[in-house]
A and B are shown apart, each in its own frame.
Chain A
């Protein structure tokens, strides 16, 4: 199983809106897309393949609102945010084939993005502990003497 190039582009644009960059790195700079992709493609967790279809649906929602010349990735950030707010509120403009549904799909991606972004760097979505640096958090578990 893999993502098409257009699905991958939509995924990255989506993550960039869920956790945008500002004075601190956002999802893309922290490598959160790597974490989400690993989750969707790697561990075969139940429902992951259904979630993949949502990225194509994201482009379909874009076309329904802005015309066939646009994809989610080519929209301006305010347009992207407005579209996502519609999905979050369960107001899609296209048919989402069950078991896919707009609001649960978006909320799951929001969860996945934040899991990757705020978890420990070893999970792959928080490169160089970027989010922890923003928060001032560090585990500080290095002991003076190693535990057994």
Chain B
């Protein structure tokens, strides 16, 4: 059977856009599907009640939230049907470009030991901690490529946790006075700090302008399009090649397989015409199918694609599909700057970091990078950053806001989670989406070792603020909870041996010749860093592997 496409990619997020760009430029005819739309800057307004850091009443990148619930199983085993703006939903942006339309842009390489956690630390009871089937050296060239083709600003000499062969293409973001204050505090502790890598145009790059340091960064689209992702780099390259067809508002419902179980196409629902509210069922066929929908929806699609030959879902022969869900525990220490140091309201805001505690912490498994935070919205500050003994209303609260808004400081970091096989995505037996398909059911909780590492890192974050001279320091203990969110990972883990995971070391689903997964789902462990650059590096690597394949 002939087909109009060589490759179908399900999901035009950070990874999907890269796959499309490399494959289309390499001569492949690509069909790129995304359930969201390509949103103009003006369609993602500066709404402080509806953004990806505060989804009180929704957000501006989620289409049709009501028709797409998930089911969250709480600690007592009680199911809750939840919509995207509910934290329990574990939302990532559903739009072309994915989370990178509105992200905080931290673009970290993982530490070499992040790929060999089981070897370095052993396997804790009850965990599914494992080594990746690839190492840092396998990804290094693709990290470098992502830094240059997406555009990352960083401090080459200072970023030493992972070997680097080539400088960043963009100079690091400027340091705020409060970040300099934190750097001096770290010096007193003997901790090394540097300016963290961010995927932002610190000067004009790749045909777009520079960041204007606005005070409405994370959670929002960028007013100068200086916030880099695949939506403004590789995806435009894919479309310019003439070989990529992007279909938006397209909801994949099934990977189609033939009588031998091999993937041959994708069934999806898409608008009958571009602007139509009516969706019709379609099928598309291609030699290669790549699922790139985020760790929750990628696992769900493979589960939905069960067939008589693979009754538990595609790639689920080893009972790993949908398991080992990880995000990041995120300990935060809050403090107050001394009166002579003002917090900057210049964005993005993250401009000092340490990787001192990513590994080598006595008695602790793994660790985390620590950094200061983005410029805060006033409402987020009111909700999260006032000292805990501040009255919540009245003149006392208003005066605290006035006096402390410019004095708040916090230090936080993404803790490398210890995966648990019981932290899972399955198909809910009762609740269905608008197409009548079972929705994702999220269950399980944090492994105790993750809590222990998070508590260790919380103490380091407090120590940093105290050594810097913060007038007050406070924080909240880590809790066990289902963890996925914007850093969701792990549900289609790579493995060398088909029994140990869902895909091979290139993301090819074990037992399938032409079916791939490419997103955070592949991460065996999720590093003590924001995972986006690793997702991007894997996308470049998988795409090049496909181009090199006959």
Number of A-B contacts (CB under 8 A): 107
B393 and A123 within 8 A (CB): no
Q: Looking at A107, A132, A141, which has the most chain B CB atoms within 10 Å of its CB?
A: A141
B223 and A147 within 8 A (CB): yes
B308 within 8 A of A: no
B176-184, B210-218, B265-273: which one contacts chain A?
B210-218
Q: How far is the CA of A26 from the CA of B398 in the complex (A)?
A: 9
A22 and B398 within 8 A (CB): yes
B8-16, B399-407, B503-511: which one contacts chain A?
B399-407
Supposing A19-B393, A24-B402, A143-B223 touch, asked if A137 and B378 sit within 8 A by C-beta, the answer is: yes
Report chain B residues within 8 Å CB of A141.
46, 212, 214, 216, 223
Q: Which of A1-60 contact B (CB under 8 A)?
A: 17-20, 22, 24, 26, 43, 45
Q: How far is the CA of A110 from the CA of B398 in the complex (A)?
A: 12
A135 and B378 within 8 A (CB): yes
Q: Pick from B56, B223, B224, B398: contact of A19, CB below 8 A.
A: B398
Report chain A residues within 8 Å CB of B382.
114, 118
Q: Which of A89-148 contact B (CB under 8 A)?
A: 107, 110, 113-115, 118-120, 122-123, 131-132, 134-148
Query: How many residues of chain A are within 8 Å of chain B by beta carbon?
Result: 39
Report chain A residues within 8 Å CB of B41.
146-148
Q: How far is the CA of A63 from the CA of B399 in the complex (A)?
A: 31
Closest to B208 in A: A147
Q: How far is the CA of A76 from the CA of B238 in the complex (A)?
A: 67
A140 and B212 within 8 A (CB): yes
Report chain A residues within 8 Å CB of B47.
119-120, 122-123
Q: How far is the CA of A115 from the CA of B224 in the complex (A)?
A: 27
A143 and B209 within 8 A (CB): yes
Q: How far is the CA of A118 from the CA of B45 in the complex (A)?
A: 16
B345 within 8 A of A: yes
Which A residues form the contact surface with B (CB < 8 A)? 17-20, 22, 24, 26, 43, 45, 81, 84, 88, 107, 110, 113-115, 118-120, 122-123, 131-132, 134-148
Which B residues form the contact surface with A (CB < 8 A)? 40-41, 45-49, 56-57, 209, 212-216, 221-225, 345, 377-379, 381-383, 392-395, 397-399, 401-402, 405-406
17 residue pairs from A and B, CB less than 8 Å apart: A18-B394, A26-B398, A88-B393, A114-B393, A115-B379, A118-B379, A122-B46, A122-B47, A131-B401, A134-B402, A135-B405, A140-B216, A143-B224, A145-B209, A146-B41, A147-B41, A147-B221
